[in-house]
Amino acid sequence: MIPCYTDCMQELQQLILDHLPNKKKVTSKGWIWFNAPCCVHRGHKADNRQRGNLWFGTDATVGYHCFNCGYKWRFNGERLSDAAQDWITWLGVDAEQTRQLKMHLLQQQLQGADTPNTFVRSPVAVHQVTPMPPQAAPFHVWAHDPDPPEKFLQACAYVQHRHMQDWESYDYYWSPDTTHDMCDRVILPFYDQGEIVGWCGRLCVTAKPKQPKYFNSDIPPGYLFNQDQLKKNRKHVIICEGPFDAIACQGVAVMSSQMSDLQIKRILDHDQLPIVLPDRQDRNQQMIDQALAFGWAVSFPDWDADIKDAADARVRYGGIYTITSVLQAATTDAISIGIKRKWIRGF
Ligand SMILES: [Zn+2]
């Protein structure tokens, strides 16, 4: 009997996992980093800084990207590319075993079997994928550099100052590229089921006139920053405006002053009860209006007057207090929301 797609994929994942080097690092996104096997086969120096990056998407995709020689491949569950096949062989998997797997996948395709990607899909599919800025790599990759670039250290200092210093709380990136002052920015990738679908760059130096604080790639329609939080088994989801606030309270960010229809749909597609957390100096209060329209909760936490958002609160009070105070202050009572919103308007 010919194995089905699921068997093939499990077999592929197992083959790879069995042959990965012992020395590896798994990040909070579930990405695996290890010394890349590709570079020496492509005329580059052997990698000894764990620049090979492998990830398994929840929709059965597997991807690889080498931050040393630039080799990459992606397996979408249907066809094993030559690039992937070569790489698997470089990893030390028996060439005959790889060839057989490739053949099984081909047989599946010829028989018109349902592609594996049709059975797990996010409710609002993300269509666009914007490439990362040139030479962008995660913080820990730059940190392995014996002589890290000055501007990378500046980006680290910024993250530390925002109190997001445990890098595990988000996989930040940095790039030496000067287009849009990228080297002066911390890059926050947009993750979707473990895959990067876009990014935003937050300036980490004082802005020059007309220099935007945030520079974003295209935002995929309906995308919410940190939206993988929606998949967690939690009672509530905290909805913020900015990415650092979302990281600070383990919520999601709309990256705008109001939610788009697709973002609202994405939130409604999950079972978590939404709590809107407006910025406290915000004159633009559309998110509160939207929350009132849907009967969602709004939170006005009892923070010191000079704290303007969740990111600030986390610096002063720590992550746990920040989240509990948001939950405790959440209310769906329209009168109470009406009174409290005037306070942030500055009346
Ligand atoms: Zn490589």
How far is ligand 1, taken at its centre, from the CA of residue 65, in Å? 8
Residue 251's CB is within 10 A of a number of other CB atoms, namely 27
Ligand 1 centre from 64 Cα, in Å?
10
pLDDT tier at 141, thresholds 50, 70, 90 = confident
What are the boundaries of each domain within the chain? 5-110, 129-220, 222-347
CA of 87 to the centre of ligand 1 (A): 10
25-57 pLDDT, tens per residue? Answer: 877 667 888 999 999 999 989 998 888 988 877
- Give yes or no for a contact between 128 and 190, defined as CB atoms under 8 angstroms apart: no
pLDDT in the model for residue 127 = 43
Asked if pLDDT for residue 59 goes beyond 50, the answer is yes
pLDDT of residue 337: 92
What pLDDT is recorded for position 323? 95
Residue 83 alpha carbon to ligand 1 centre in Å: 12
Residue 52 CA to ligand 1 center (angstroms) comes to: 7
* Centre of ligand 1 from the C-alpha of residue 48, in Å: 10
CA of 39 to the centre of ligand 1 (A): 3
State the pLDDT confidence band at 347, using cuts at 50, 70 and 90. Answer: very low
- For tokens 């990040």, name the residue: 27
Asked which of 121-135, 187-201, 245-259 is least confident by mean pLDDT, the reply is 121-135
Please work out, in degrees rounded to the nearest 5, the angle formed at the alpha carbon of residue 173 by the alpha carbons of 167 and 177: 150
The pLDDT tens digits for 272-303 are: 999 999 988 766 688 999 999 888 999 999 99
The pLDDT assigned to 128 comes to 47
What CATH class has 222-347? alpha beta
Beta bridge partners of 273: 236
148-206 pLDDT, tens digit each: 899 999 999 888 877 665 545 788 899 999 999 999 999 999 988 777 889 999 999 98
Measured in Å, residue 195 CA sits from the centre of ligand 1 at 19
Distance 106 CA to ligand 1 centre (A): 27
Q: Phi first, then psi: give them for residue 136, nearest 5 degrees.
A: -65, 135
The CA 286 to ligand 1 mean position distance, Å, reads 47
Ligand 1 center–CA 34 separation, angstroms: 11
Indicate if the pLDDT at residue 218 is higher than 70: yes
**Ligand 1 centroid from CA 217, angstroms:** 26
Using the mean position of ligand 1's atoms as its centre, give its distance from the Cα of residue 187 in Å. Answer: 23
- Cα of 20 from ligand 1 centre, angstroms: 14
**pLDDT for 120 beyond 60:** no
Phi-psi region at 38: left, alpha or beta (left = phi > 0; alpha = psi -120 to 50): alpha
Ligand 1 centroid – CA 186 distance (Å): 25
Strand partners, 253: 225, 240
What's the CA-to-centroid distance between 37 and ligand 1, angstroms? 6
Q: 188 CA to middle of ligand 1, Å? A: 24
| Distance in angstroms (rounded) separating the CA atoms of residues 153 and 161 | 12
Residue range 56-72: mean pLDDT, rounded: 80
Dist. CA 244 → ligand 1 center (Å): 32
Q: Quote the ligand 1 centre to 21 CA distance (angstroms).
A: 14
Distance from residue 45's CA to the centre of ligand 1 (Å): 9
Centre of ligand 1 from the C-alpha of residue 138, in Å: 16
pLDDT at 126 over 50: no
Ligand 1 centre from 235 Cα, in Å? Answer: 42
What pLDDT is recorded for position 253?
96
pLDDT at 28: 66
Sign of the torsion angle spanned by Cα atoms 231, 235, 240, 244 = negative
The predicted structure's pLDDT at residue 29:
66
Pair 229, 267: CB distance under 8 Å: no
Residue of 83 and 6 predicted with greater confidence: 83
Note the pLDDT of residue 144: 81
Distance from the CA of 140 to the center of ligand 1, in angstroms?
A: 17
Cα-to-centroid distance, 53 and ligand 1 (Å): 10
Average pLDDT of the chain is 84
Q: How far is the CA of 102 from the centre of ligand 1 (A)?
A: 23
